[in-house]
Structure 1
Amino acid sequence: MRDSRGYTVFRVVNAVLILAICFVTLYPFLNVVAVAFSSQGYINAGQVSVIPLGFNVTTFGIVMGDPMFWRNYGNTILYTTVATAISMVLTTIFAYALSKKRLKGRAFFVGIAVFTMFFAGGIIPNYVLINSLGWRNTIWAIVIPNAISIFNLLVMKAFFENFPEELEEAAAIDGLTTYGILWRIVLPLSKAVIATMVLFYAVTFWNSWFSAVLYMSKPELYPVTVYLRNLLLSSAQPQDSAEGLQIAANVKAVTMLLTVLPIVCLYPFLQKYFVSGVMLGSVKA
């Protein structure tokens, strides 16, 4: 059947609006990429939009030629991997337990969890605690204090509450324990919310820098975000050489590009689970 004239107009307008939204969304990122590869004169003149002008990779060469950059980059990968794994284990177990209405003291534990969303000990008590535990200049100072995000916990809890109880009851009749049901029944059917939580945690830990500045004093232990932050601060100082001026001109763009690139590469593999995971976990409060 041929589409009516009104429906054809609607499709055309809809396509134009979607393309416009895509352009508006992508423009800032394309501009950052263009500035990162442009020369100092064009950047200072404000002539760079989405196409690099005066192609230049000086800042990339300086940054990526530094062995400390790769050392800190490896630290970030290690911290993010370990922290995300620990966070997922703790969040999943805690959320699954809280999703069971038969759990004694369930309201109390939920209240304690929600309470921590609004009230915290503060920087100084946290620093004293980390120092007293002997965790300064260790990975645990970054991994453990932020192991459970209450927002992620509540999303997973809501998702598990929507899980069909009949499946768990059937598994229990077949002899599975609580952990067996979680591992062999619930988790294989929860790929959407798990992938979403992995993305949330990975992005959080990858972009984290304040904990490292607070709890670490050795540059070789810094994550790459702290390395790039220090580079950004140093570029803010007056520069004398042409190389220094070039670095100062596009260091912000290079910093953002190097920081966000791994997450951009990871996102397409998890995108199909992202929306469905959040929506499924938000059906119930």
Structure 2
Amino acid sequence: MSAIEAEDLRASYGDGADAEVLKGISTSIPRGRLTVIVGPNGSGKSTLLMTLARIMAPSGGVVRVEGRDSAGLRGRELARLLALLPQEATAPEGIRVWELVSRGRHPHRGFWQPLGAEDHRAVEEALELTGCRELAQRRMVELSGGQRQRVWIALALAQRSPVLLLDEPTAHLDLSHALDVLDIGVRLTAAGKTVVTVLHDLNLAARYADRIIVVDGGQVVGAGAPTEVITPELVGEVFGVAALVVPDPETGSPLVVPRAQHGPAAVRAAVEAATDIGGAA
């Protein structure tokens, strides 16, 4: 059974056909694997993630999480099955790391109910898994971007939901911190979690994903293992980039190498050619 299944999923930002962002998507997320959603800007990949998480209500179709129709689940029931880290998460002013991560336990407690022993264990485990234990008493404003992102992932992990959705978790991070975040995703799937993340970088997606879903124009145009999906034809058609796709010398995963017309030498040659034409005129 898949962790998440979507059937004929539709979503809109307003009325009319032009406002429809998701246009009948049917796809599945395998349990215990790292799935990456990719696509050009405006393709609907983040909208797909938000709709799977029920942050955005679909205008049509069905989403099943762990075999259950999400439309029939109460908020806390869904939160026990699925945790979401949005793209732009903000922390209350002055909050410390441990307190923020402990808020992931809300789906398991009643209003005003104090944290119990199980809640403390869940928070400590989440901090340990994300390498944030030494940050527990630091304030969020004191942390680097990479540290903050690891703390936000710890917050989602504290929910102890079997499915974790991450919307562009590597955005605004340098390469080292981006790799740290994706390494956490791999460790989580090794421990049995299902992780779904939106990424912009095709090469990082190909290196880390067990499954890639390619979205374009509000529809799934490719899905499968990286070696099946990341091809020169797809990169050209979906992203408008002429590229070679070769095996990564480190991992063997597909490596996208844009052709020279998009490189600095090609740009300089085009400028020089235009200057020569102008001078001749």
TM-score by length of 1: 0.23
Question: More relative contact order in 1 or in 2 (CA 8 Å, sep 6+)?
Answer: 1
Q: Name which one, 1 or 2, has greater alpha-carbon Rg.
A: 1
Q: Which has the higher strand share?
A: 2
Q: Which has the higher helix share?
A: 1
